[in-house]
Structure 1
């Protein structure tokens, strides 16, 4: 039994030395991601009913992405219509002087409409003579 103890200790030492070796440091991998230079504007609008629409306008590509009720609509800018208007074969988005309208073109059904809050003018100052 006394002869087995040194062999057991040497065996445990050999196992612990091999188990404790950590792998060398892995080389760092540098990933070059292309930087986009697109001019993108994102806005969120809320209508009178509490519905929210998220609009991302890419001025570089002349496209608009509209997120409404969990659906995404891809539209392209239309230069024929006033202010900022984008459309595809089924839907039309327009931002005319801050009035946001998103409608289904085939049936002229408005899916979302946001009106600009009219700012109240400050106190009117009148000259007194």
Structure 2
């Protein structure tokens, strides 16, 4: 009886110690979320009549334009003194004036890319009947 009582007492002691242990708190993981890109960026690809392709990425927030032409990249800054959207650096100038896309080398006045966008047709004209 004494042996049984000791065994039960030991069993209760083991159960009480394991039952009273709470799982440790998980370490709090704080992650800093990357700030969302709040820049206003527009990306356009134009193809001229010769099949040459130009990619223009305009960042309106930073007032910059990135032009990709013939495997080269040109970084330009918006020019407020010139009309419509015009961006330039020391050597190159990009402009989008009334649908005329022009990219040129300023020092030698050489046009590298030119495209005149077609104006959208309004459809057949409606005649008024009297």
Moved more, 118-127 or 36-45: 118-127
RMSD, aligned α-carbons: 1.7
Counterpart for residue 100 of structure 2: 99
2:116 match:
115
> Hey, which bits of structure 1, 4+ residues long, moved more than 6 A?
none
SS in 1 for 2:76: strand
Residue 34 of structure 2 is matched in structure 1 by 33
State the Cα distance separating 1:36 from its structure 2 match.
Answer: 1.8
For these two proteins, the number of residue pairs brought into alignment is 102
Residue 127 of structure 1 corresponds to which residue in structure 2?
128
Aligned positions of 1:49-68 closer than 5 A: 49-68=50-69
Tell me which residue corresponds to 1:70.
Answer: 71
- Cα distance change on mapping 1:34 and 1:120 into 2, 3 Å: closer
In structure 2, how many angstroms separate the alpha carbons of the residues matched to 1:127 and 1:41? 41
How far apart are 1:29 and its partner, in Å?
9.7
Alpha-carbon displacement from aligned partner over 1:65-122 (angstroms, at most 9, x marks no partner)? 0000000000000000000000000000000112110000001100001111133342
1:84 partnered with 2:89: no
Residue 47 of structure 1 and its aligned partner are, at CA, apart by: 0.5
What SS does the aligned partner of 1:125 have?
coil
Counterpart secondary structure, 2:62? coil
How far apart in 2 are the matches of 1:37 and 1:119? 32
TM-score (norm 1): 0.72
TM-score by length of 2: 0.72
Distance in 2 (alpha carbons) for counterparts of 1:30 and 1:126: 66
Q: Deviations over 1:14-65 (max 9, x none)?
A: xxxxxxxxxxxxxx99574332211111110010100110000001100000
